[in-house]
Structure 1
Amino acid sequence: MKEEKRLRDVDLNLLVTFIVLFREQSVSKTAEHFSVTQPAVSMSLARLRERFDDPLFVRTGKGVRPTKRATEIAERLLPAMMRIASVMGVESSAGYVAGDCPDAGMGGVNSLYEFFEDERQQTFAF
C-alpha cells in the first residue's frame, strides 16, 4: 500500500515535537521538556516546516505562536496522537492513560489543550 510506504517515511518524533511546541509555545521550553538543546528543536521545526510547507510557528516577544495552518494540523493531530498513546498504554506520571483524556478525539484542540494545561496531568508523556 502506498500510504503505508509514505507513512514509513514520516518521522513520528517530529509530530511529538510539534505537539509539545504547540502546547508550550516556546522553543526553549520544548527543548527543556525533551532535555535537548534549542538548536535541536529548531532543526526539528525546520523539518516540520519543510514537510508542511508552512512556517507553522512565528516568533513573538515571549516565544512562538502557531500559524493558522499549525492550528489546523493540531486539531487533527492531537486526537490521533492521543489515540496512539492510548493504544501504546502511555501514561502520565499522574497515572492517567492517554485515552482517559476527557473528550479525546471529540472536543478538538480546545479540550485537548485544556487537558495538557491541567496541572494534574501536566507531565503527560508527550
Structure 2
Amino acid sequence: MFERSFSHLDPGIYLNGLPSVDSCSWKAPWSEVTRQQERYLRSRYSLFCGICKIQRVLRLDLKHHNRPDTCYVAHSPNPKEMTCRDRFSICRFKRQSRSCAFNKRTPYDICEKWLSHK
C-alpha cells in the first residue's frame, strides 16, 4: 500500500523548470493564516496582485495599446490558439518594467505545438 505524507503544499507556477510561489498564487484557508501573513497580504497584495487587466483587440498596435496595467490579446481566427492562450498564459505585473505582461508557461508552448499538429 502506498502512503502519502507531506507537511505542506505550495501552490504556484513553474518558471524555467523550477517551482515558483509568490503571494499572488499562494492559497490557504483563512483560519490558518497567521497575523504576520495577514499583514503582509494586506500591504503587498494590492501593490502587485490583481492590478492587471486583459483586453482583447482586433490587432496589436503598440502605439494605441500601451497601458501599463493591461495585457493585450489579439483575436485569432484560430480557435486552437485562443484555447491555449486562455488556459495557459498568465497576465501578471512585472516589477522590473512596472507594467503588466503575459508570462507564457511551458504548458502554453506544449499546447500550441500539440494543437498545431492536429
Q: Under a length normalisation based on structure 1, what TM-score does the superposition of the two structures give?
A: 0.23
More strand by share: 2
Q: Which has the larger radius of gyration?
A: 2
More helix by share: 1
